[in-house]
Amino acid sequence: MHTTDPRVETYDVVVIGAGYSGLAMLHHLREIGLSTLVVDAADGVGGTWWANRYPGVRTDSEYDSYAFSFSTAVREEWVWTERYPRGEEIRAYLEFVADRLDLRRDIRLSTRVERAEHSDSTNLWTLTLADGSRLRSTYLVSATGLLSRPVLPAVPGLETFAGPAHHSARWPHEGVDLTDKRVGMIGVGASGIQMLPELAAQAAHVTVFQRTPNYVVESTSPPVTPEELASLRENYDAVFERAARHPFGVPMDFPAHSALEVDDDERRQVFESKWQAGGFHFAMECFTDLMTSPEASAYASEFIRGKIREVVADPRTAEALCPTTYTFMGKRPPTGHGYYDAFNRENVELVDVLASPITEVTPRGVVVDGVEHELDVLVLATGFDAMTGALTAIDVVGREGITLRERWERDGLLTYLGIGVHGFPNFFMSVGPQTPLSNLPVPVQRGAQWLQRALSFARENGVDQLEPTREAEDWWRAETERAGHATVMYAEGRKAGAWFVGGNVPGKREEMAVYLGGGHVYQDLCAEVEAEAYAGLRPDAGLPSAHVPAGETPQVA
Ligand code: N01
């Protein structure tokens, strides 16, 4: 801690958030001798995994890549038990990381940041906490999560519901007794899809209110064998590196062929084999172009609709579950654990609210098409103000007294590599907006290590401020838009109201909030910035020469 002002605690770095990002940041920034404090509004570490306690919560990524690789002690001692670890296991993993790396002494829980303001005269950030006290730091790091600010459905009367009503990410930690209860679930994204089989197993009756159906790839979660764990420990660096060289941060094979260059039989065989592999294997390993070719995406969509019709016994329910208004990858593909099969249970009912939206929530239930569905418990699996929501909920005030929220409302989403924002000196984001859509521990770890080297550079070279230039931001926005438009995810995502284009929050500007050019490409770009002495983050340094081929201006497609 500095001693510039004895009345206000002053650190080299304050990090907001104690999930994967905050823990990695603390470990790596402490390694270079920076006094670092992590604050989190929650009363435990884990971030997303502290907050999300809904029935059935687990990772959609597999255990081997949903972890850090930087600590030999952690990777040797931690024991994974399931292919897709449950929320409780991930939370325990993060608590283990915090204990094993002795992080807790620099983490302050139950501490909510309401405002952070930069002063050019002192070159310090001043943070105001909910209790009115203040902190100061040279560097401010947000590790607030990209899917952490819940969105409630814009339905009249929601607050009048007489029974318990819980958003998936605000599920009570002590659980909810659903025995003999009539449960209504609004939302069929990754959260609702994980939840349904478990709700149905406990409740008397579950009514699923579905607006846009999803393409769910089913999977199983067998125990991790001692041999698998031993093999992972032996090959940890190679597994992590393989994930880091994959566009989506998973250690998976690259497909060899386009879906358009094989015949119907072969296409079906490939789809079937990767359907059997389950989860993200289907999206990542079938063909080179499921994400870039509308025809290839349409083939995958038809294959999954076929699976839905095979599994779901009632033809009307099956048809209602089949997405038709957008194609595969128009939403981030969720992993199911008996999702479609749950609709074969007598106590599960699907109510299609696409054509006839929910008109009202009453004290007794949910009204659709003039029919009141009576409920005891309401589950709101209605998603998040993704990528920017947690950042704009805090008043982060940069130069000229402008907040991040005002800046992005005025100018559109602008960041440099999702790491920093012009006008906000010495402010850095872990997996901020416009970073790759990815299995997150990979970019989280890489990002913390990149920032460690950037701040070492700044200290060693007397650079007082790192701050993206306007030119760098404009370049990254154009590149993010270009990369997004080169996929089917932009056009289909807009049709589907996907969170990665901001389509799920009424009134939010629709723009690419993630980078779809590939995690590996992104890592290379970050390396170029580093190789060129943090060009792009220093006034007058221009852009790294490798960013823009000579004579070319990046175009928004
Ligand atoms: O949220 P979502 P999520 N009436 O935005 C519906 C990550 N994640 O929490 O599509 C009716 O996907 C909405 O309908 P529509 C993962 O990246 C990861 O499920 O807008 N419905 C949609 O069905 C994921 O992609 C994991 O028509 C309404 C649903 O609510 C991201 O988080 C687990 C409505 C929201 O789906 C978000 O997933 C869980 C209304 N008025 C999540 N308003 C793991 O890997 C909203 N909806 C562990």
Q: Give the three-class secondary structure for 537.
A: coil
Please write down the HEC assignment for all residues of 523-540.
HHHHHHHHHCCCCCCCCC
353 lines ligand 1 (CB under 6 A): yes
b (16+ CB within 10 A) / e for 548-557? beeeeebeee
Q: Report d(CA 133, CA 321) in Å as an integer.
A: 51
Cα 493 to middle of ligand 1, angstroms: 13
H or E stretch covering 302 = helix 294-311
Kindly report the number of other CB atoms within 10 A of residue 115's CB atom.
15
* Cβ atoms of 109 and 35 closer than 8 Å: no
In this predicted structure, what is the pLDDT of residue 246?
96
Give the model confidence (pLDDT) of 333-343 as tens digits: 999 999 999 99
155 lines ligand 1 (CB under 6 A): yes
Q: Where are the beta strands (DSSP E) in 337-386?
A: 348-352, 358-361, 365-368, 371-374, 377-380
Choosing from 63, 93, 191 the residue with most ligand 1 atoms within 8 A of its CB, the one to mutate for a pocket test is: 191
Alpha carbon nearest to ligand 1 atom 36, residue: 189
Query: Regarding the domain delimited by 2-149+386-469, which CATH topology (the fold level of the hierarchy) does it fall under?
Result: FAD/NAD(P)-binding domain (3.50.50)
pLDDT of the chain, 557 residues: tens digit per residue: 444 566 899 999 999 999 999 999 999 999 999 999 999 999 999 999 999 999 999 999 999 999 999 999 999 999 999 999 999 999 999 999 999 999 999 999 999 999 999 999 999 999 999 999 999 999 999 999 999 999 999 999 999 999 999 999 999 999 999 999 999 999 999 999 999 999 999 999 999 999 999 999 999 999 999 999 999 999 999 999 999 999 999 999 899 999 999 999 999 999 999 999 999 999 999 999 999 999 999 999 999 999 999 999 999 999 999 999 999 999 999 999 999 999 999 999 999 999 899 999 999 999 999 999 999 999 999 999 999 999 999 999 999 899 999 999 999 999 999 999 999 999 999 999 999 999 999 999 999 999 999 999 999 999 999 999 999 999 999 999 999 999 999 999 999 999 999 989 999 999 999 999 999 999 999 999 999 999 999 988 888 887 865 444 433 32
* Cβ atoms of 22 and 44 closer than 8 Å: no
Cα 442 to middle of ligand 1, angstroms: 23
CA angle 84, 86, 91 (to 5 degrees): 120
Q: Report d(CA 165, CA 185) in Å as an integer.
A: 10
For helices 441-460 and 236-244, what crossing angle results, to 10°?
Answer: 90
H or E stretch covering 284 = helix 280-285
Q: Report d(CA 429, CA 415) in Å as an integer.
A: 10
Which tokens sit at 255?
A: 């497909």
Which pairing describes strands 335-336 and 217-218: parallel, antiparallel, or unpaired? parallel
Question: Quick one: DSSP state of residue 116?
Answer: E
Q: Give the three-class secondary structure for 206.
A: strand
Choosing from 155, 369, 382, 492 the residue with most ligand 1 atoms within 8 A of its CB, the one to mutate for a pocket test is: 382
473-479-485-491 Cα dihedral, nearest 10 degrees? -30
In this predicted structure, what is the pLDDT of residue 400?
87
189 lines ligand 1 (CB under 6 A): yes
Closest atom of ligand 1 to CA, residue 499 = 5
104 lines ligand 1 (CB under 6 A): no
184 lines ligand 1 (CB under 6 A): no
Question: Quick one: DSSP state of residue 553?
Answer: -
In this predicted structure, what is the pLDDT of residue 556?
31
In this predicted structure, what is the pLDDT of residue 279?
95
333 lines ligand 1 (CB under 6 A): no
Choosing from 49, 65, 93, 147 the residue with most ligand 1 atoms within 8 A of its CB, the one to mutate for a pocket test is: 147
Q: Give the three-class secondary structure for 119.
A: strand
Strand partners, 372: 367
H or E stretch covering 474 = helix 470-485
Closest atom of ligand 1 to CA, residue 353 = 11
pTM of the model: 0.96
Which residue type occupies 512?
M
